[in-house]
Amino acid sequence: MALRRDPTARQTRLAVELRRLREAAGLTSREAATLLGVSPAQISQIEAGLAGVSEKRLRRLAAQYVCTDEEFVDALVAMATDRTRGWWEQYRGLLPTPFLDLAELEHHATFLRDVQFLHVPGLLQTERYAHAVFSYRVPELPPEEVELRVRHRMRRKALLEGPAPKRYDGVVHEAALRIMAGSRATSRDQLAHVLDLSEADHITVRVIPFDLEGFGGATSAMTYAGGFTPKLDTVLRDAPQGAAFIDSEAQLNAYRTLFHKVEEVSLDADRSRDFIHRLTKEL
């Protein structure tokens, strides 16, 4: 089987988890290869996400690594055997890979959480607001690429709709609600859209107002995607060099704590809706 040239974030995550299991068992890749009856190069390729692994081999590896967490192993098997080619694949080669990885991550997530300070979270954006955000990018994007990015962002929103929508919890700073990414009308429509979405049972939007005392978390924007088991949760952070996917247990625990801290200090859902409604009337 040909090696992958560009593994997705999900394929890479599976590879990382298999390497972690091996290292936790105190085995070298050569020892793991001997136990599995393959070459060390094959183990290295699997652990780099360059080669897939069958359910049978994955379960044998898990047994050799003495991993007794059946739920976790089942989740890894699901990742290894999934052959889904989602809607985002039509954008491969047209948009940067992180756009596709984010859509794939959200598609497989069991729940989603956002903390944002400068923009309304992407899943809550209107088309006109998203267009304004992408149009402001430096260096400036060609109009056709702006349209591609907007179309991709609007397609992502489908996971909040339909008969089995994802659970979504967003914490948004007042700054993100007040900054006019586009025109006044665009901002007004955006706030109204957030209000409409927040009425859904599976969507909660909470606001952190400017006048909150003792709040120092304004550099901690993130997207948190729940996995089929907490060990497979993922945090997405924007960084100057591009999007960063975070999945180590220590870091995940830190971001879980961070989310609960900002959630605790934010206004509750009802007061947040009242707050956004007042802002809408001010525009």
* Average pLDDT, integer, range 72-93: 94
HSE-CB at 185 with a 13 A cutoff on CA atoms is 2
Q: Which CATH architecture has domain 87-282?
A: 2-Layer Sandwich (3.30)
Return the amino acid letter for 186. T
**Full-prediction pTM beyond 0.95?**
no
Mean pLDDT over all residues of the chain?
93
Please classify residue 199 by burial: count the beta carbons closer than 10 Å to its beta carbon, then call 0-12 exposed, 13-18 middle and 19+ buried: exposed
Show me where the domains of the chain are located. Answer: 9-81, 87-282
Give yes or no on whether 9-81 and 87-282 have one common fold.
no
Gap between the Cα atoms of 191 and 21, Å rounded: 46
For 271, other C-beta atoms within 10 Å of its C-beta total: 13
β 222-225/234-239 pair status? antiparallel
CB-CB contact of 195 with 275 (8 Å): no
CB-CB contact of 31 with 22 (8 Å): no
pLDDT at residue 219, as a whole number: 64
pLDDT tens, position by position, 150-183: 999 999 999 999 889 999 999 999 999 999 998 9
- CATH number of this structure's domain 9-81: 1.10.260.40
pLDDT tens, position by position, 14-43: 999 999 999 999 999 999 999 889 999 999
